[in-house]
Amino acid sequence: MAATARRSTLLTGWGRTAPTAATVRRPRTPEEAAALLRASAQEPAGRRRGAIARGLGRSYGDAAQCAGGTVLDCADLAPGFRLDADRAVVTASAGTSLAELMAELLPRGRFPPVVPGTRHVTVGGAIGADIHGKNHHADSSFGAHVHSLRIVTPDGAHREVSPARDPALFWATVGGMGLTGIVTEATFSAAPVETSAMRVDTDRVPDLDSAMALMSAHDTDYPYSVCWIDLLAGGAALGRGVVTRARHARVGELPSDRRHAPLAYAPRTVAAAPPCTPPRLLNALSVRAFNAAYYARAPRRGRGAIRPLSSFFHPLDAVRDWNRLYGPRGLVQYQLAVPFGAEDELRRIVAGLAAAGAPSFLTVLKRFGPGTPAPLSFPVPGWTLALDVPADLPGLARLLLRTDERVLAAGGRIYLAKDSRARPAAVHAMYPRLGEWRAVRERVDPQGVLTSDLARRLEL
Partner 1 sequence: MRDAVGAVGTVLLLGGRSEIGLAAAERLVRDGARRVVLAARGAGGSAAIGDAAERLRAAGAEHVHPLDFDAARPESHTAVVATAAELVGDLDAVIDAFGVLGDQEAFEDDPAYAAEAAAATYTGHVSVGLAVARRLREQGHGTLVVLSSVAGVRVRRANFVYGSAKAGLDGFAQGLGDALHGTGARVLIVRPGYVPTRMSAHVPAAPFPATAEQVAGAVAEGLRTGAETVWVPRRLRLVFAAMRALPRPLWRRLPR
Question: Least distance (Å) from partner 1 to the CB of residue 279?
Answer: 10
Between 204 and 457, whose beta carbon lies closer to partner 1?
457
CA dihedral 112, 114, 116, 119 (to 10 degrees): -10
Decide whether 36 or 380 has the Cβ nearer to partner 1.
36
Assess contact for 93 and 125: CB atoms under 8 A: no
5 or 293, CB closer to partner 1?
5
We find the least distance from the C-beta atom of residue 448 to partner 1, in angstroms, to be 12
Say if CB 23 and CB 8 are below 8 A apart: yes
Cβ proximity to partner 1: between 47 and 301 the closer is 47
Cβ neighbours of residue 353 closer than 8 Å, sequence gap 6 or more? 231, 360, 387, 399, 403
Query: Using the rule CB under 8 A, is 15 a contact of partner 1?
Result: yes
Q: Are 454 and 419 in contact (CB under 8 A)?
A: yes
Pick between residue 60 and residue 383 the one whose CB is nearest to partner 1: 60
Query: Minimum CB separation from partner 1 for residue 375, in Å?
Result: 23
Distance of CA 331 to the CA centre of its chain: 15
Three-state SS for 326? Answer: helix
Judged by CB, which is closer to partner 1: 96, or 333? 333
Give least dist CB 386 to partner 1, A. Answer: 16
Q: Under a CB-based contact definition with an 8 Å cutoff, are residues 56 and 75 in contact? A: yes
Nearer to partner 1, 92 or 460 (CB): 460
Q: Which of 67, 123, 338, 387 binds partner 1 (CB under 8 A)?
A: 67
Strand pairing partners for 197? 308
To partner 1, the closest distance from the beta carbon of 428 in angstroms equals 13
Toward partner 1, which CB reaches closer, 20 or 184?
20
> Using DSSP, how many helices (H) and how many strands (E) does the chain show?
13, 21
- Report in angstroms the alpha-carbon separations of 226 from 60, 132, 137, 221, 233: 20, 12, 10, 13, 18
The smaller minimum CB distance to partner 1, of residues 95 and 327, is found at 327
Instruction: Decide: helix, strand or coil at residue 339.
Output: strand
**CA separation for the pair 176, 452 (Å, rounded):** 12
Longest alpha-carbon distance in the chain? 68
CA–chain centroid gap for 382, Å, is 17
Is residue 154 within 8 Å of 166, Cβ to Cβ?
no
From residue 69 to residue 88, the character string flagging contacts with partner 1 as x (rule: CB under 8 A) and all else as - is x-------------------
Three-point CA angle 172, 174, 180, nearest 5°: 50
Question: In this structure, which amino acid lies at residue 217?
Answer: A
Interaction residues for partner 1, span 322-351 (CB under 8 A):
329-330, 332
User: Does 10 help bind partner 1 (rule: CB under 8 A)?
Assistant: yes
Quick note: the x/- pattern for partner 1 over 16-55, rule CB under 8 A, is -xxxxxx------------------------x-x------
Q: Give burial (CB, 10 Å; 0-12/13-18/19+) of 68.
A: middle
* For partner 1, the closer CB: 298 or 391: 391
Q: In the complex, what is the shortest distance from the CB of residue 330 to partner 1, in angstroms, rounded to a whole number?
A: 7
Residues 363-402 that bind partner 1 (CB under 8 A): 391-392, 396-397, 400
Q: Rounded CA gap, 148 and 428, in Å?
A: 28
Binding mask 289-328 for partner 1 (x = CB under 8 A): ----------------------------------------
Give me the least distance between CB of 118 and partner 1, in Å please.
19
| DSSP state, residue 250 | P
Task: Kindly state whether residue 270 participates in binding partner 1, applying the rule CB under 8 A.
Answer: no
Residue window 430-459: x/- pattern of binding to partner 1, with contact defined by CB under 8 A: -----------------------x--xx--
| Bridge partner residues of 90 (DSSP) | 83, 188
**Residue type for 87, please?**
R
Residue 25 vs 28, nearer CB to partner 1: 25
The answer to whether residue 4 forms part of the interface with partner 1 (CB under 8 A) is: no
What whole-number distance in Å separates Cα of residue 332 and Cα of residue 421?
8
Pick one of 145, 248, 366, 421: the residue that binds partner 1 (CB under 8 A). 421
Subset of residues 87 to 116 that bind partner 1, contact rule: CB under 8 A: none
Number of residues that bind partner 1 (CB under 8 A): 31
Contacts to partner 1 by CB under 8 A: 8, 10, 15, 17-22, 47, 49, 61-62, 66-69, 329-330, 332, 391-392, 396-397, 400, 420-421, 423, 453, 456-457
